[in-house]
Structure 1
Amino acid sequence: MIKALSSLRRGGWWRHGFLALLFAFAAAWGAMAQAALPTPGAPDLSARSYVLLDNTTGQTIVEREPDRPVPPASITKLMTAYLAFEALESGDIAMDDEVLVSENAWRMGGSRMFIEAGKTVTIEELLQGMIVQSGNDAATALAEYIGGNERSFVSQMNATAERLGMEETHFENPTGWPAEGHLMSARDIATLLSRLIHEHPDLYRYFRQKSYTYNGIKQYNREKLLFRNDWVDGGKTGHTEEAGYCLATSGARDDMRLIAVVLGTDSDEARNNQAEALLNYGFRHFEAVAVREGGETLASPRVYKGESDEVPVGLDEDLSVLVPKRQSDELTVTLHLDSLLTAPIAAGDRVGSLRVAFDDDTIAEQPVVALEDNPEGGLVKRLTDSLWLWWDE
């Protein structure tokens, strides 16, 4: 059972007969009392840095140097894909747009989809060539088309990284080709992949595509976990001598989606094994617990000078948290409301917060908002409530 307390900081409520509100959460996770098992330690990995993130709650399960900026190699193409997806959904570009391949794109070294200078290729073909085949030529052609030129597109990449809160990221190109100052952290990569999945779920399907044939050349997705586990649905690999072997990937099992990022391993096999170990660890030992639904009334606190004496308050979106399995009874949920709410109040106005703690540590906090409008009352009501406020002081 989830323990729940409510703290209503509202001066003078005892004068009007208001009682503190106590939440009672039903025990929805098993009828039999069961002692919580200790959660085993996380896998011992050799990766330079890594992070395992729950995609729904945003909670980090395990990490090593997650904020260390390192060369990301072709994982960079996650941002190129993100900007392409944004352009598609905004209508700036279309899947059937034909892109004239520049000599600059054609000359790109490293992994390629083998487009040819002077010929046209569609946006959809370039996306598959970049995501499935990891083509540097495809990523460059997309950047030139969307940004007008490669340098302008890179500026968009850096502006978007800043907007997404990717504090340890800086791009020099759209491919991940080695360049001084071209860096990302494991946490930033996980943030980017999470946003890509949340915001573009239909286009994310390209990341689980196992092969793509262009110009008569069939290439297989470099992410081997797609071929090992049907619950893995893709991300992006990367490799350069400086970066080592890197992988950002995601998988969904048991109504959970996790994101694993491993950077700086010493082989293709190592990056796949270590990312898989992180994902298996998360699915095996943790579970998501629904705390409260968005739009559900949590309380109806006193409002002064309004048409109504109360306003229903709650969360504007569902709140879930991740906890070790069989330990959900250690959760404590506390409602904090602002003191002396005064009209006018509009639906959506923040009036407090809901905090969730596990083992005395806060693991989630979400704003509590008004669920309905409460405009100002008439003159008599405002004057009467002003007297009550004076008395409460």
Structure 2
Amino acid sequence: MTDSSRPLVIDPTGRDIHGENARIRARSAVTQVELPGGVVAWSVTSYDLLRRLLSDPRVSKDARQHWPQLINGEVNEEWPLHLWVSVQNMFTAYGAEHRRLRGLVSSAFTARRVAALRPQVERITADLLDALAAAPEGPVDLREGFAYPLPIEVICQLLGIPDDARPGLRRTVDVVFNTTITPEEAQANQVEMYAILDNLVATKRAAPGDDMTSDLIAARDADDGSRLTESEMVDTLILLISAGHETTVNLLDQAITALLTHPDQLDLVRTGRVSWDDVIEEALRWQAPVAHLPLRYAVEDIEIDGFRIGKGEAILAGYAAAGRDPDLHGADADTFDLTRANKNHLSFGHGAHYCLGAPLARLEAAVALPALFDRFPDMALAVPEAELSHIDSFISNGHRVLPVTLRAAA
């Protein structure tokens, strides 16, 4: 067997996501890769093929029904990414079960309700900018001081998460996205996360509030719990907390980085030749906040454009690769270009599992980015771009730190 016939081993550190995607694409638009723990999946890097598979009813996200490796016990709790396939919420549901679970939370993310959150997002943004302005002279970490706290504050307020629970939830969610951890670390983190959420549910059940956690508990307790099981309720909280901020953190992080490293593009925004919506969509295309999303499964044998994915085989959605697909975006697909006519991407997914929180993420970015660059027009990276390091994840696409100077040197 030649090296090229073996699955390409995904680097769990994510240190070179786009270079790795280019190597995967060079093999084939649909090719096998090896994830941590030796799990093999079909990586789909073609925008067109991935878009079609994401809306194909022959593709499931329910490992309990459609992934023989999990059903047979070949993949178990010792797999570091086990939580990604074992949670019981709309993220891992299929068909009618997915529609039921999605329906319980979709009303919170309607266009009207998201628009009503704008004043709240503006207040949080203004407070964060004031805190940055009051910081001592010298570099500040914009990921820690701006990109992270904005979406986490919004989602915590929506869910009614008390201040004392937030540090623990943040820590455990960060570990979920860390794809370099050991099985022991993953299992310990899972225990800690469920303990925090079980305590949150007990507190809200005893004293409900005007928040989504209380709404989910009401759905759980209504009709003898027939609409929502306890596991589904807690696992839905995991999904809302993690997906509710991770995408936006990385969107803000990468959009800020892109503008600071492309002054010609930033000038286009400042002179009004392109819009902030152009910035958001091109950032989503150029640096998908979630690079690879595990996992989906073929419900039956799938033949698509000459490729065959066998029944029960796993599929890894390559969102970052799809955003830079040269078949769609041309030879300059790797270039950050705000004037690009076609900014199509799959960074929020597609089909039945399209991200419910996409309008909220776009709103947060539309408020935060112009406010940041207006407040600090002389902002600059404090280190060369090459020195920015990637977080330890092949799933989440962001930086460990984003050091910037907010003001020009005196």
Tell whether the structures are fold-level matches, with TM greater than 0.5. no
- Give the TM bin, normalised by the shorter chain: under 0.3
What TM-score results when the alignment is normalised by the length of structure 2? 0.24
Q: Which has the higher helix share?
A: 2
Q: Which has the higher strand share?
A: 1
What TM-score results when the alignment is normalised by the length of structure 1? 0.25
Structure showing greater Rg = 1
Higher relative contact order, chain-length normalized (CA < 8 Å, sep 6+): 2
